[in-house]
């Protein structure tokens, strides 16, 4: 039953990531939700087999680095364009 909830949470996060492409902040929040679901499912999987949870700490540190990188891109975009809309800037510039 727990795996059904994890699949539902994961695919709802993927659906929000694919459907909401207007603001960069909403996209980053959906990516962080996906990372949180993956972390929770990894912890449940490793705990079920009585493995060590060191890999989950490494995964969590990489996800923190990914979040910091996303926030730095968001701040850079707001400073250069004034908002976080995807339509307001061109990738060819």
DSSP string, 21-85: -SBHHHHHHHHHHHHHHHHHHHHHHHHHTT--SHHHHHHHHHHHHHHHHHHHHHHHHHHHHSS-B
CA distance 88 to 55: 40
Q: Residue 11 domain-assigned? A: yes
Answer for the pair 30, 24: CB distance below 8 angstroms, yes or no. no
Residue 70 lies in a domain: yes
Boundaries of domain holding 14? 2-81
Query: pLDDT tens digit string along 39-90?
Result: 999 999 988 888 888 888 899 999 999 999 989 988 888 888 788 777 766 6
Number of domains in the chain: 1
What CATH number does the domain containing 71 carry? Answer: 1.10.287.3510
Q: Is 87 within the bounds of a domain?
A: no
In this prediction, residues 8-19 reach a mean pLDDT of: 91
């Amino acid at each position: 039953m727990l795996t059904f909830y994890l699949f539902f949470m994961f695919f709802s996060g993927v659906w929000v990531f694919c459907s909401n492409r207007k603001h960069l902040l909403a996209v980053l929040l959906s990516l962080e939700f996906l990372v949180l679901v993956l972390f929770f499912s990894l912890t449940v999987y490793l705990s079920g087999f009585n493995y060590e949870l060191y890999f989950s700490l490494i995964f969590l540190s990489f996800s923190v680095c990914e979040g910091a990188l996303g926030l730095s891109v968001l701040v850079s975009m707001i400073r250069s364009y004034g908002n976080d809309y995807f339509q307001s800037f061109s990738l060819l510039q």
